[in-house]
Amino acid sequence: MHTLLAATAADSEGFFAWLNALFVEQTWPRALLIVIVVGLTVPGLVSALVWAERRGSALIQDRLGPNRCGPFGMFQSFADLAKFLFKEDVIPGHVNKPIYLLAPAIAVIPPLVALAFVPFGANVFIADVDTGILAAFAVTSLHVYAISLGGWASNSKFPLLGGVRASAQMISYEIALGLSALGVFIIVGDLRLISVVEMQTDGWMIGAGETLRSAGDWTRLFDWNIFKQPLGALIFMIAGFAETNRHPFDMPEAESELAAGFHAEYSSMKFALFFLGEYAAMVVFSSLFVVLYLGGWTLFGLENVLSDWVTSYGAENAGWINWASVAEGFLHVGIFFSKTLVLLLFFIWVRWTLPRFRYDQLMRLGWVRLLPLSLAWLVVTVIGVAIVRGL
Amino acid sequence: MDPWTFWLGGSLALGGGLLTVTRKNAVASVLWLIVAFLGMSTLFLGMDAGFIGVLQILVYAGAIMILFLFVIMLLNLTPSGLLRMDRPRGTTLGLASAAAFIALIVAIVTGGQQWTGGQGGGSEAAILERTGEASMLEGSVLDIADQLFNAHLLPFEAASVLLLVAIVGAVALTKRKL
DSSP string across A231-253: HHHHHHHHHHHHHTT-TTS-TTT
Judge contact between A61 and A348, C-beta under 8 A: no
Whether the pTM exceeds 0.95: the reply is: no
Tens-digit pLDDT string for chain A (391 aa): 333 333 343 344 456 556 655 665 666 777 788 888 888 888 888 888 888 888 888 888 888 888 888 788 888 888 888 888 888 888 888 888 888 888 898 888 999 888 888 888 887 888 777 788 888 898 888 888 888 888 888 888 888 888 888 888 888 888 889 899 888 888 887 788 888 888 777 655 544 444 454 445 566 667 788 888 889 999 999 999 988 888 788 777 777 777 777 777 888 888 888 888 889 999 999 999 999 988 888 887 677 777 777 777 777 776 667 777 788 888 888 889 999 999 999 998 988 888 888 888 888 888 889 999 999 999 998 898 888 776 5
The alpha carbon dihedral of A209, A212, A218, A220 has a sign of positive
Which residues are CB-neighbours of B10 under 8 A, at least 6 positions away?
B39, B43
Q: Which amino acid belongs to residue A247?
A: H
Whether residues B54 and A138 touch (CB distance < 8 A) is answered with: yes
Report the greatest alpha carbon distance in chain A. Answer: 69
DSSP string computed for B49-75 = -HHHHHHIIIIIIIIIHHHHHHHHHHH
| Residues B31, A149: C-beta atoms closer than 8 Å | yes
Centroid of chain to Cα A232: 17
pLDDT attached to residue A7: 38
Of A69, A93, A101, give the one whose Cα is nearest residue A273: A101
Query: Is A185 within a domain?
Result: yes
Inform me whether the C-beta atom of residue A164 falls under 8 Å from chain B C-beta atoms. Answer: yes
For residues A262 and A166, is the Cβ–Cβ distance under 8 A?
yes
3-state secondary structure A172-223: HHHHHHHHHHHHHHHHHCCCCHHHHHHHCCCCCCCCCCCCCCCCCCHHHHHH
Q: Which of B27, B51, B58 sits opposite A141 (nearest CB)?
A: B58
Chain B contact for A109 (CB, 8 A cutoff):
no
Q: Which of A294, A289, A176 is nearest to A235 (CA)?
A: A176
Domain membership flag for residue A21: no
In B, minimum Cα distance to A151 occurs at B73
Q: Which residues of chain B have pLDDT under 70?
A: 76-87, 111-139, 178
Cβ neighbours for A299, distance < 8 A, ≥ 6 positions apart: A335
Chain B residue closest to A191 (CA)? B141
Asked if A171 and B63 come within 8 Å (Cβ–Cβ), the reply is yes
Pure H helices in A24-96:
28-60, 76-86
Q: How far is B165 from chain A (nearest CA, A)?
A: 19
Q: How many CB atoms lie within 10 A of CB A95?
A: 19
Number of Cβ pairs < 8 A linking chain A and chain B: 77
Write down the domain spans for chain B: 1-85, 88-135, 140-178
> Does A350 fall in a domain?
yes
When scoring A129, A139, A145 by the number of chain B Cβ atoms within 10 A, the one with the most, hence best to mutate, is A145
Residue B74 neighbours by CB distance under 10 Å: 12
Q: Give the DSSP H/E element, type plus range, for residue B56.
A: none
Domain count, chain A: 1
Report in angstroms the alpha-carbon separations of A315 from A152, A312, A319. Answer: 61, 5, 9
- Kindly state whether residue A68 falls inside one of the protein's structural domains: no
Complex ipTM more than 0.90, yes or no: no
Domain carrying residue A225: 91-389
Give the best residue of A1, A2, A171 to mutate against chain B (max B CB count within 10 A).
Answer: A171
Q: Read out DSSP for B104-148?
A: HHHIIIII-TTTTTTSSS--HHHHHHHHS--GGG---HHHHHHII
Q: Say whether A358 sits in a helix, a strand or coil.
A: coil
Determine, for residues A130 and B70 on separate chains, whether the beta-carbon distance falls below 8 Å: no
How far apart, in whole angstroms, are the C-alpha atoms of residue A346 and residue A344?
5
E strand or H helix that includes residue A93: none
Using a CB–CB cutoff of 8 Å, tell me whether A172 touches chain B. no
The pLDDT value recorded for residue A357 is 84
Contacts of B62 in chain A (CB under 8 A): 137-138, 141-142, 144, 174
The pLDDT value recorded for residue A376 is 93
Which residue from A99, A141, A191 is facing B27, i.e. has the nearest CB? A99
- Candidate from B31, B51, B67 with C-beta closest to A131: B51
Q: Does the distance separating the beta carbons of B61 and A96 come in below 8 Å? A: no
CATH among 3.30.56.10, 3.40.50.2300, 1.20.120.1200, 1.20.200.10 for B1-85: 1.20.120.1200
Dihedral angle sign, alpha carbons of residues B60, B65, B67, B68: positive
